[in-house]
Amino acid sequence: MRSAVRLAAGDGFRLDAVTCVDDHRGWSAPEVGSRHGLVLVRRGIFRRMADGRAAVIDPTMAYLSVPGEEERFAHPAGGDVCTSVSLSPRLWHTLAGDGPPPLRPTLYVDARLDLAHRRFLAAARGGDTAFELAESLLSLIGAALAQLTPARSGGGAASAGTAAVPAPAAEARVTGTEGRAAEGRVTGTEARATRTEDRVAVAGAVEASPRTGGSAQDKPSGAIRVPASGRSGRERRSSPGAVVRTSAAIADAAREAIAADHPAAGGLLSLADLLAVSPYQLSRAFTRELGVSLTHYRNRVRVGRALDRLEEGEPSLAGLAADLGFADQAHLTRTIRRHVGHTPTAVRRLLASRAP
């Protein structure tokens, strides 16, 4: 069940908080969008299918919606809370220009975009729709479109900490050393994993198997629970009997494990072992899909959790550092400043300044 609460509306835009309490693995009925918009996740994780392409959506991954686009959703990990920003055609073209929509509508939400999202919500609580909220909207949409610039222009790589959005063909392409490594992965980790009877819980859902029944078309591609064999639904066959997982499937499974705080997500080697891929393949797949290293992404997730606590008025930075696994307060401060551009104290002030 999904519900929406209108938070604010202005000249050509509206802002809604959308809460979904669904808990199902299958895809929803198709929905057709009517407006341009940006959807960012506050809490939770789910899957979205658009134009036949599935993506894992969580606080580190947002998506653009466009009129006429058919969408389907699956919630194998439970509910979620999202921010939905809808724009009129006129405002969209003012902000995004007249070029074609991005080929790949999902975008990596780095910590700076996360902060812009939080400040936008804080501005909505302030009630000044005509100026303060509109100004925050420009910052938010501008930051989102900047993430998609490589996809829109076909340009080069993004700067450090900003996702270079690869061409869609990358989702179905495993080449060179990475492809050879994947095709040659038959014993060791994968063989050991195959012998176990348990499936690994990554985000609270169970992937169907021929023994448990269910129609394959009713299951979201690349279910959130990673099977013991390490294979997900997003894979391709390069030759009869050989299955090669795409880099997108590997990155999705890694993100889900990190979001769920799976014990194996505490290190690169253990995470690769969980997913039954080589550490090299995991690292390459992650950078290819998100444009940032796995190390950078793990710290991005921890920074997001720190922002949650700072937004709530967390008084102890030392305690916050210890809770989130940083070496000390100085390590926490350096990491947040690197990702957000502000110290924890400054972030707390920015997020609290407009609170009711």
pLDDT tens track for 269-296: 999 999 999 999 999 998 999 999 999 9
Among residues 310, 247, 307, 321, which one has the least CA distance to residue 282?
247
Q: Residue 341: left if φ>0, alpha if ψ -120 to 50, beta else—which one?
A: left
**Cα(108)–Cα(297) distance, integer angstroms:** 10
Stretches in the chain below the pLDDT threshold 50: 151-244, 355-356
Write the DSSP symbol of residue 219. Answer: S
Global pTM value? 0.72
Angle, vertex CA 55, rays to CA 49 and CA 59, nearest 5: 120
Residue 213 burial class via C-beta count within 10 angstroms: exposed 0-12, middle 13-18, buried 19 and up: exposed
Q: What is the pLDDT of residue 102?
A: 65
Distances (CA, A) of 165 to 82, 216, 259, 285, 320: 22, 30, 21, 13, 32
Among residues 55, 57, 53, 62, which one has the least CA distance to residue 45?
57
**Cα(230)–Cα(215) distance, integer angstroms:** 21
**For the CA atoms of 188, 190, 194, 197, what is the dihedral angle to 10 degrees?**
100
Count of residues making up the chain:
356
Q: What is the pLDDT of residue 101?
A: 65
- Amino acid, single-letter form, for residue 90: R
**Cα(226)–Cα(206) distance, integer angstroms:** 8
